[in-house]
Structure 1
C-alpha cells in the first residue's frame, strides 16, 4: 500500500491487485482525511474489502440494496414480458417497498423479513391469496437473479409457502365455480344475443372463444390467412387501436407456448363462414390480410366494448357470475375437462406452458365429475 497526497490536503491510499478474469494488474484506492497510523489501518481494511469484492468471483457480500437489485433485475425482466406484465410487476414492487425499506442490503435479507411481510399483507392483512402469491412469486424471481449474480448464496423466499386462510378455503369451491360458465349458461347468452342483428357479432365471438379457448387478444389478431378451412394459426395478439394513425399493431403472443395451431370443431368452422358472409356484406370484401372478427367500423371489436356488453348481459341473462372476455377461455378448459381429455392436451390447445389456473379448473371439474358418477351409482334402483 502507498499513500498519495492530494491537492485538497486529503490522502489517497492505493493498492494493486490481480484481476481474476484478465489476470492484469489493477489499482484500487480510498481517500481519507489524515495520514496517521490509525488512518493507515482503516485504509488497509477498506482496500482489502474492495479487493476481496473485486477478486472473489464467489463473493456474496456485495453491498447492493434491495432497490438497486430491483432496478438491475427489472431492466432485464421487462425485455422478456409484455408491457402489461411490466406494469403489474411495478405495482407489486411498490407494495413490497411500502413495507420493506428500499435501502435494505440484499446480503442481510433473511426468511423472517419476508415471512413478516407476507403475514402483514395476507395472513393478518386484506390482500387476496392469489395476489399475495403473485407478490411472493415476483420476489422469488428477483432473488433467484440475485443468487445467479452471487449477491447472495441462497434465495430466502424459495422455501416459503403461503397457506390459504380457512375462510378462503371454505369459499374456494364457490370461487372456482364462478371462474367458468356451464354449457346451459353459454347457450342462454348466445340465444339472447342472436335475437338482435346488432349483437350477433358478439354471439359469434362468445361461441368461438368457448369452442377454441383463445384469449380475446388472440381472437382479435386472427386474419383470414390464419384459417386453412380446418384449423387456425394463433400467431399474435392485438395492440390498442391508434386513433391518430387509424391503425392497429399486431404483436407477438403472450408467450412462446401461445403460438399454436388450434383445430376447429365443425361449429367453429361454421362461425367463421358466417362471419365471412357478414364481413363481405358489410365491408364489400374479404381479403387474406383482413382481420376476421370486424365491427361495423371495420376494425376488430375492442376488448373494452366487448366487456361493456358482457356487463349488460350479466344482468339481462341473470348470470350470477362476473362476465369478462377471459371467462370463456376458462369455460373451454372446463368443457374439455368434462370430456375427460388429458391435462397436457388441454394445456397445448390453450397455449399454456405453466397453467396454474388451467390445472385448478381441471382438477375442480374432474372432482365434480367423479362425484356425479358416485351419485349416479348410489341412485341405481
Structure 2
C-alpha cells in the first residue's frame, strides 16, 4: 500500500491490483491523517473495494422473485400437470426468504418434517422440484448458490408406497364392474381395464383416433381437469395400441356429434367410483396384472402403457396377484412331480 500527503494536508492511500483481464489497476482512499488506526482502516477499505471490483456484484432478490421467473419460463416448457406440481411444491418456500436463509441442512430437515404431512412419494417429489428450482437459480442468477438436497425413502416408506398401488384381483373383476351403477363410468373403466389408458388419455379419444379395420387406437393427446387438451405425458405416451372386439364395441357406442367419445370428466368419474371405493387408476393397474398373468413380455407392456423406461413398469406395475400365486403353486407342484418321477 502506497501513501502520500496531499497539498490540503490529508493522506492518500493507494493499492494496486490486476483485474480479470490481467490489466494493472490502482485504487485509492483518502484519510484525514496518517495514524496507525487510519492506515489500518484505509487498508481494509482498499481490500474491500478490490474485492468488489474483481467480483460481479450480484443483487440478491427474494425467493418470490425467483419463483415467478422460474414458473414463467417453465410454463411453455412442461405439461400443465407438471407446472401445477411445481406451483404446489414451491409454495412451501416462503416468498420473502432470501437465498442466505436456505441451507442444505435446514431444508433436508424440513423434508423429514414433511413426512408427517405428506406421503413418502410426495416428499420425494418436493425434493426433486426444490432441486430443479435451486439449479435454475444457480444457472441463471447466482452461480455461488449451490444446494442439492438429498432424500431417500426408508424401507418403511417404500413399503407404504407399494401398499398404495391398488388393483383388482382378476377373479373379482366381474363383481367389481357389476358394483358400478353409473353406465358411462362403468363403460369408461371397462375400456381402461382392457387398454391400460390413463384417464386423461381416454377422455381425449375422438372418433378419428379409432381404426376400425385394423382394430387399433391412436393415443396422441390428454385432457386435463381444466378441460384443456395437450400432448400426452411424455413423448413415449404417443402410441398406437391394439384393442379387442369388446373395447371396439364400447367405443363405437359412444360415437356421436361430440368431439370426444366420453362426454364426462374426471370429477364425475371419481364421484361415481368413490361410492364403491374404487379409482380410475386401479383399472390401469389391473390391465397390467392381466397382461403379466397372460405372460406378455414386460417390454411390450411398457410400450403399451406409454412408459419411457421399462424400469417404470417394473417398479410400479409388477403386481403379484392371487391368480399368479396359484399359477406358481401349480407349476411348483408339477415341477416336483416331474422330479420325483425321474
Mark yes or no: TM-score above 0.5.
yes
SS at match of 2:99: coil
- Of residues 103, 106, 109 in structure 1, which corresponds to 2:103? 109
Report what 1:83 is aligned to.
80
CA contact (8 A) 2:298 2:310 kept: no
Q: Post-superposition shift, 1:135? A: 0.9
CA contact (8 A) 1:258 1:352 kept: yes
Say yes or no: does 1:156 pair with 2:151. no
Q: Post-superposition shift, 1:73? A: 3.2
Q: 1:154 to 1:370 in 2, by over 3 A?
A: farther
Residues in 2 aligned to 1:359 and 1:332: alpha-carbon distance in whole angstroms: 14
Q: 1:357 to 1:334 in 2, by over 3 A?
A: farther
Say yes or no: does 1:233 pair with 2:212. no
Please give the root-mean-square deviation of Cα atoms over the aligned residues, in Å: 4.0
CA contact (8 A) 2:219 2:238 kept: yes
Report what 1:182 is aligned to.
169
| Larger-gyration structure (1/2) | 2
Report what 2:243 is aligned to.
264
TM superposition score normalised by structure 1? 0.65
Residues in 2 aligned to 1:75 and 1:221: alpha-carbon distance in whole angstroms: 27
Report what 2:56 is aligned to.
53
Q: Post-superposition shift, 1:262? A: 1.9
Report what 2:70 is aligned to.
73
1:207-243 CA distances to partner (integer Å, 9 max, x unpaired)?
11111122222212211111111212222223567xx
The 5 Å alignment of 1:211-226 reads: 211-226=194-209
CA contact (8 A) 2:221 2:238 kept: yes
Count of matched residue pairs? 305
1:15-62 CA distances to partner (integer Å, 9 max, x unpaired)?
xx9898xxxx9xxxxxxxx964747853662453354227xxxxxx99
Say yes or no: does 1:121 pair with 2:104. no
Residues in 1 aligned to 2:228 and 2:158: alpha-carbon distance in whole angstroms: 42
Residues in 2 aligned to 1:236 and 1:171: alpha-carbon distance in whole angstroms: 32
TM superposition score normalised by structure 2? 0.71
Q: Post-superposition shift, 1:87? A: 2.9
Residues in 2 aligned to 1:80 and 1:369: alpha-carbon distance in whole angstroms: 43
Runs of at least 5 residues in structure 1 that lack an aligned partner in the other structure: 1-16, 26-33, 55-60, 242-247, 280-285, 294-299, 315-321
Q: 1:137 to 1:175 in 2, by over 3 A?
A: same
